[in-house]
Amino acid sequence: MSKLEMVYLAAVGLTGIVPSFGSLPNLQDLDLGYNQLEAGDWSFLSSLANCTQLKNDFGLARFMGANSTAAPGNSTSLADLKGSIGYIAP
C-alpha cells in the first residue's frame, strides 16, 4: 500500500479515530470529509509530514476530540490544506 496515491472516503459514514497516514509516502489526495471521525490527540497530523507528495484538499468534517494545540505546524509539504470543521468538543 505504500504506492497508494489517492484516498477518497468522503461521506461514507466513517466513525472513530483518524488513522495515521505516515506509511503512505506517495499519498497526493486525501479526503475524509463529511464523516464523524475523532481527532483524538491530533497525532495523525504529524504523520502527514511523511506524506511528502500530499498537495490537495484534506476534508476534515465534524471532528471531535482534543484541542488543536497538539497539532504540529511543521507539515511544510502540504500545498493546500482545507477543511470544514463543524464541531470540536471541549
Question: Tell me: the pLDDT tens digits for 22-80?
Answer: 899 999 888 888 888 887 777 888 888 888 888 875 564 344 444 444 344 434 444 55
What is the distance between the alpha carbons of residues 20 and 86, in angstroms, rounded to a whole number?
21
> Can you give the residue ranges of every domain in the chain?
6-70
User: In this predicted model, which residue has the larger pLDDT, 78 or 13?
Assistant: 13
Please report the DSSP string for 18-58 in residue order. Answer: PPP-TT-TT--EEE--SSEEEEETSHHHHHGGG-TT--S-E
Q: Residue 13 above 80 pLDDT?
A: yes
